Amino acid sequence: MTARKSGFVVGAIAGAGVAAAALAGMGMRMGTAGAAEAPAVTRVATLGAPAFAPPPGAPLSFADIFEKVSPAVVQIDVTSKASPAARLRIPGLEGFDIVPRGQKPGAEGEDEAPAGPKQQSSGSGFFITADGYIVTNNHVVADADEIKVVMKDGRELKATVVGRDEGTDLAVIKVIDPKAKGADFPYVNFENQAKPRVGDWVITIGNPFGLGGTATAGIISAYNRDLGDSSSRFVDYIQIDAPINRGNSGGPSFDIYGRVIGVNTAIFSPTGGSVGIGFAIPADVAEATAKQLIAGGKIVRGYIGANIQDFSQEMAEAQGMPDVKGAIIAELVAGAPAAKAGLMPEDIITAVNGVNVKSGSELTRQVAKAKPGEAINLSVLRGGKPRSIEVRSGVRPAEGALNPGDNDNEDDGAPANPDKPQTQKFEALGLTLSPLDAAARATYKIDPDVRGVLIAGVKTDSDAGEKGLVKGDVLSSVNGVAVKSTGEVATAIAAARKDGRTSILAKIVRQGRPVFVPLKITQ
């Protein structure tokens, strides 16, 4: 992402060419003298009515809405020392983020080299109070050394970060420029009650590619989108088809009454440009987060201390309860609230305080709503039998502490010890299994407290191979039953077959971390 200001000139020229081509495509050809040959047009002489029929309920123009709300939308210019690779991204999605504005190194008149490399970038934001509080995306202002807010009337004002939340990718900044002392800024309100329906109109305003206040319109395409990244733990995204691009980050989406229904955050794009699939943080999440940041500068969320996974349909069928939805506990944090309350690995959580949860993200969102010390009532299935467990919420650590990153040096197939004869091998589920002895522990660096059976080989074309199992993984349990030998694995598979199941739920341990994987039973 190395676009510079000169790139915008090229883009503008290219845009003019595209416009001419579009006119030609509409039946208008540009002659050598610039004259246009156009087809006959029916004119409405006196009534002033449109010459076309808009869709039912559609405004004839978004101009009134834009005129009303656009003064509250700002361009946010950021100067930062952060590396471009670390900043030019949306968590989990590539191709959409703040716009690099380009810095000219070694400009004329510079006597000394700068203290360090600097990056200039731009995003969007909007005022939510008259005294200068602005909502934007966390990734727009993260690592910012200087923040400048550019208003619609051209004023450029200094601002500072009030608080940031990595969990929702939201941030609040405030204008602190002496020139704005006593100013009464135009601001907009969030809409949390009359939520628009799928198919309702939406208008976005922002700073795409650093071009300044730009309006686009579309409809709400869907609700409850999960982007598959860390922010989806706390956000059910709104999908919109109003064109948004790099630089729209942090800008608002409005309903036809000029109320903020979302904060534009990401796009799905195979090309890096808008293809009509954008995502916005819902107004209720944005407003609640902004209020907390303004009040205390940080977000406090509930926490129980459990590593969880979606309890998928395939897992449910493997356990003989195809209608069950929820989240399964893979691992507990020692000394955390969940462990203290008596929750156990392989427990399946189906509801939080009476609210059904169908995935790990939904469970995390519900738990996050709790205040520290507050009682959380969990509906749990253990061994297929329901029970209720009360957990006292803790305080969720920072996302960086919880998710330090994946290990990029995983050993996916260390050679077996040639001096150790392989005995008691067993093939099933597309796997070659062998005892977890001292030699295997040394070869694959398996901790002494891990119990189970070594996966000594994986057929690449098997269900296990397609799901990513590798040599050196440990099969720890089958359908909730701990296995310590190949014979116990065979017994567990036979029991599943007898019950008419076509798959089993395997607990796999890799580098000390457990994960549940449903595996098809092979003949």
Residue 151 CA to residue 73 CA, distance in Å, equals 7
Strands (E), 169-246: 170-175, 201-206, 214-225, 237-240
Residue 456 CA to residue 264 CA, distance in Å, equals 47
Catalytic-residue membership of 124: no
Q: Which of 70, 77, 124, 139 is catalytic?
A: 139
Catalytic-residue membership of 249: yes
Torsional class of 153: left (φ above 0), alpha (ψ -120 to 50), beta (otherwise): alpha
Token output for 325: 């939805």
- The letter for the amino acid at 523 is Q
Q: Which of 80, 249, 253, 269 is catalytic?
A: 249
Residue 305 CA to residue 332 CA, distance in Å, equals 6
Residue 89 CA to residue 67 CA, distance in Å, equals 31
**Tokens 């960086």 found at:** 400
Q: Enumerate residues 6+ apart whose C-beta is below 8 A from 378.
A: 343, 349, 351, 352, 388, 389, 390, 391
| Positive or negative: CA dihedral 35, 41, 45, 49 | negative
Residue 363 CA to residue 359 CA, distance in Å, equals 6
Residue 137 CA to residue 289 CA, distance in Å, equals 11
Q: What is the CA radius of gyration of the chain?
A: 28
Q: Which of 77, 97, 165, 169 is catalytic?
A: 169
Give the length of the chain.
Answer: 523
Q: Enumerate residues 6+ apart whose C-beta is below 8 A from 408.
A: none
Token output for 326: 């929820």
Cα 511 from chain centre: 26
| DSSP codes of every residue in 254-310 | E-TTS-EEEEEEEE--SSSS--S-EEEEEHHHHHHHHHHHHHHSS---EE--EEEEE
Residue 128 CA to residue 250 CA, distance in Å, equals 13
SS3 content of the chain, % helix, strand, coil (to 5): 20, 30, 45
Cβ–Cβ < 8 Å for 510, 474: yes
| Positive or negative: CA dihedral 5, 7, 11, 14 | positive
| Positive or negative: CA dihedral 488, 494, 500, 501 | positive
Catalytic-residue membership of 437: no
Give catalytic residues, as residue numbers: 139, 169, 249
